[in-house]
Chains A and B, each alone.
Chain A
Amino acid sequence: MKPRHKRLAIAAGVVVAVGAAAALVLNAFQSNLVFFYSPSQVAAHEAPSLRTFRIGGLVERGTVKRDGTRVSFIVTDTAKSIPVSYEGILPDLFKEGKGVVAQGKLEGGVFVAREVLAKHDENYMPPEAAEALKRAQQGNPKLAESLATDTVKKQP
């Protein structure tokens, strides 16, 4: 092979390899995107019925119930609420009246979470939860504010 052809072959090889990799990456990307919906959107039936998605908002006070390793609670964006069910151990920073993000699927009106994420420190609200509140808050800012700044429940 002439040097020019060799360079051409190497370039072609690289292009093919990158192309194949890009196809693989984009395909995996498409099928693994997780969208976010606020409880209001879920109530308005905007959320997908089969696909995994995320919801965010505040954990409504007095709604956390345990049954063995199964937990259920209600997530609200102050306008609408949605019941959530989760099998497993909640993160340490999960608290009533505080922000939460859950990932899972809707099954018969109940959001079955496979993963629950909570904020990482006292001043911090997960962006998704803040977003849900902001959207719902447009009409009722005071309510949301009182929920967000509520004092923390003392250690049991």
Chain B
Amino acid sequence: MIPELGHLALWIALGISAVLGTLPMLGAARNRRDWMALARPSARWIFALVALAFVCLAISFIDNDFSVLYVASNSNRSLPLHYRFTAVWGGHEGSILLWLLMLTFWTFAVATFSRHLPEKVVARILSVMGWLAFGFLLFLLMTSNPFDRLLPVPADGRDLNPLLQDPGMVIHPPMLYMGYVGLSVAFSFAVAALIGGNLDATWARWTRPWTVAAWIFLTIGIALGSGWAYYELGWGGWWFWDPVENASFMPWLVATALIHSLAVTEKRNSFKSWTVLLAIMGFSLSLLGTFLVRSGVLSSVHAFATDPRRGLFILAFLVIVIGSSLALFAWRAPTVGLGARFALLSRESLLLGNNVLLVVACGAVLLGTLYPLALDALGLGKISVGPPYFDTVFVPLLTPLIFLMGVGPLARWKETTLPDLATRLKWAAGAAIVAAFLTAWLHGGVGIVGVVGLLMAFWIIASLLTDLVERLRPVGGMRSNVLHRARLIPRATVGMMVAHLGVAIFIFGVTLVKTGEVERDVKMGVGDTTEIDGKTFTFRGVRDVTGPNYRGAQGLIVVTQGDKTIATLHPEKRFFPVTQATMTEASIDSGLTRDLYVSLGEPVGGGAWIVRVYLKPFVDWIWGGCLVMALGGLIAATDRRYRIRARQTADAAAAAGATA
């Protein structure tokens, strides 16, 4: 009964989303208050129903109800309870259901935290989100119903892909989907504003916290995925330029551009058309990512063997959404107006540079990701574009971006002068150069590329400090203490500084890993040693281990430095009988300045194994940097300014929506 209940809930949700997609929109056009009033309750009902369906599927998994095809394909009696729950999104159908759950959650959030918005605007926004929900519900029900029954009922399920049996998998997909789908809010705000013709600074202020919230989730989701690849795939890489990674990275690049462009639109009323276009592009890329991942056109861990109808459906949906929103944009954008003027050198023009670079970077990733697929689809042969392409392209594109990151926050709105900027930033530039060379000399062996990377990281930090010092310096004889002035810095600015610091940490980590990592594949018999950077790795052999749904071999490797044992590592090789899959579990000793990474290859007879022994300096800084970026986003999104203005303005309609 429970699967049928979930199935029914989805159908009802489909009906309500059709109502949400039409009536409030028409109501806004015809001034029918009763129709517009349907928007909020509909949004809440859809969320409740999709959540119910999700819970039903989760119960089927936890109860081992193998009469449900999806459960039988992705679970097993011996699978531990927590993985039976996360198996809900371990396959295609459940992933789409999770996608939908996130989408309806955001819709619900907009319905709840939009009391200060004019009724018409809310009606339009929720209507657009209703259409998106309708499309995805239809997709789920037509091509990927997770509640399909299986007859005869098998005694046991086929088990979850062992790669996904990992704590990282518990949070990576929900986080990433929250980010992906969160961009639908900015998209809906933009489309609603285009339809209503009220694109102005207020619109930008409403959109900002939502966009930043989506960006935070996207950042964390990507970082988690990267971290998972690092320790779970067992070969120590953290980014592969895999098309699926690119699919999540492209919306991130555009969302980052959007955040910066929204700032200009809010503060200066400029860039309006561009901002709207970015909002549309951001969500379109999310949809494109979904298409790439879910249509089975890619060979990747994320691509499940699927039937072609699914790919076709998402492709059609993609074309409709992108096509109609771009058509709307072409029709309405000319009425938007150009906004305030700015000089050739101003914060606006520097942010424009930021936007151009980010979008070009995104275009480069798009080309490398789609070109092989397009060529294949046209029957012109099979090609692939490897990491060297992306590496070659990204360094020259990001270098000027990082430079701008230092200059932009210090430049003045409207007009700034080169001598002024040069004077204010000369100490930062000098300090960055000294720090970079000093670090390179102390750390050793980083080469020219390493120095450039370090220079970028220290440039960001030094210019940040310059900005901070300027803000804390007393102005015009005012006698107030530093703490007081520190409190006057808007949270949005603090958030920006923290996020930029995160970028610096990230670059620092990437630079030192890229230039200093040692990767060695060695054949090791019992008692054999290998030495990296003064650390001796001794192989002490393997023993058999048994897990709940696997059996395997566990190696013992002791790492010593001088006379001291600094780490004892237990890498494993696991075999999952149900899926007939072998898995490598790396063993990592993490540290602030380095990771010791060991994983088992395969046995070569006589108790000897091929073993990967890696030294990864500062690798954890990569994900640490991402978390700091996300923290910056969190600080900025909770800026009280978005709420205070709501109270100060007499007209509640002009108020900013309470933040996400």
Contacts and interface: CB of A to CB of B under 8 A. Distances in A.
Question: A and B, one complex?
Answer: yes
Nearest to A26: B367
Contacts of A1: 344
B299 A128 contact: yes
A9 interface: yes
B408 interface: no
Interface stretch (A75-83, A85-93, A105-113, A136-144): A85-93
Interface string A92-134: 1100000001010000000000000101111110111001000
Contact of B521 (A18, A25, A29, A88): A88
Contact of A69 (B357, B386, B392, B522): B522
Contact of B575 (A14, A127, A155): A155
A69 B524 CA distance: 10
B386 A34 contact: yes
Residue among B383, B384, B521 with max Cβ neighbours from chain A (10 Å): B384
B217 interface: no
A93 to B, nearest CB: 7
Contacts of B349: 10
Contacts of A28: 388-389, 392-393
Contact of A32 (B344, B360, B386, B604): B386
B381 A35 contact: yes
Contacts of A120: 161, 163, 299-301, 303
Given A1-B344, A3-B341, A10 B521 contact: no
A29 B368 contact: yes
A17 B356 contact: yes
B166 interface: no
Interface residues of B, number: 55
B559 to A, nearest CB: 20
Interface residues of A, number: 45
B163 A17 contact: no
B580 interface: yes
A68 B580 CA distance: 26
Interface string B565-580: 0000000000101011
A152 interface: yes
B377 to A, nearest CB: 11
B353 A128 contact: no
Contacts of B343: 6
A128 B580 CA distance: 23
B393 A24 contact: yes
A121 B161 contact: yes
Interface of A: 1, 3, 6, 9-10, 14, 17-18, 21-22, 24-25, 28-29, 32-36, 54, 66, 68-69, 87-90, 92-93, 101, 103, 117, 119-124, 126-128, 131, 152, 155-156
Given A87-B521, A89-B235, 20 more contacts: A6-B343, A25-B364, A28-B392, A29-B393, A32-B385, A33-B385, A34-B386, A35-B383, A54-B382, A68-B610, A69-B522, A69-B610, A90-B602, A92-B583, A92-B584, A120-B300, A122-B581, A124-B304, A128-B382, A155-B577
